[in-house]
Amino acid sequence: MAEQTSPHVAFYKQGWENYQQTLIKTISSLSSEQLALPIAAHSRSIGELLNHMIGARFNWFYMWMGEGDPNLDWSDGDDGDEAALSRADSLVALFEKSWHVISSALDRWTSADLEKLFSPPASHQSWLRNQGLPEEVPHTRQWIIWHVLEHEIHHGGEFSLALGAHGLESFYS
């Protein structure tokens, strides 16, 4: 008998999916001018923040765990595509594409799958060495899922704060 998907993953998936849909709804209502607003003086714009969140999904789910189609057009903010960062439809499409990868994986992973250990990508280790930083240790799939989720919660709060600071309706309201 095949093992069923993890009850732990199923527990978090619904909340994360609701969060995803709320993000999409909020992002789609923003104009290019609003996406270009800085979160605070000398910090990234709202569009850059959202692209950073997509980049984390890419790095952890694709680069670390190999999830998703290698031809999927992810964006992690390093390509300088300012036009995509200022268009809500581009950001929404990237959130939807990345959510499809995450959701599909969450639907199939079993409790045993959560214990699988992943070594850091060689490109990540090289980048850390070039920065004079210690190399990353391997992480379990369970750790990675939680890490991406906490990253989204953290930056979701930052997104909400930026919206409120500019008099825009927060997705947490």
Binding-site annotation: residue ranges for a divalent metal cation: 52, 151, 155
Distance in angstroms (rounded) separating the CA atoms of residues 35 and 91 = 10
Work out the burial of residue 85: count CB atoms within 10 Å of its CB; fewer than 13 is exposed, 13-18 middle, 19 or more buried. buried
Residue numbers belonging to the annotated binding site: 52, 151, 155
Distance in angstroms (rounded) separating the CA atoms of residues 85 and 49 = 9
Task: Name the 3-class secondary structure at 118.
Answer: strand
In contact, 109 and 6? CB cutoff 8 Å: yes
Distance in angstroms (rounded) separating the CA atoms of residues 45 and 37 = 5
In contact, 45 and 35? CB cutoff 8 Å: yes
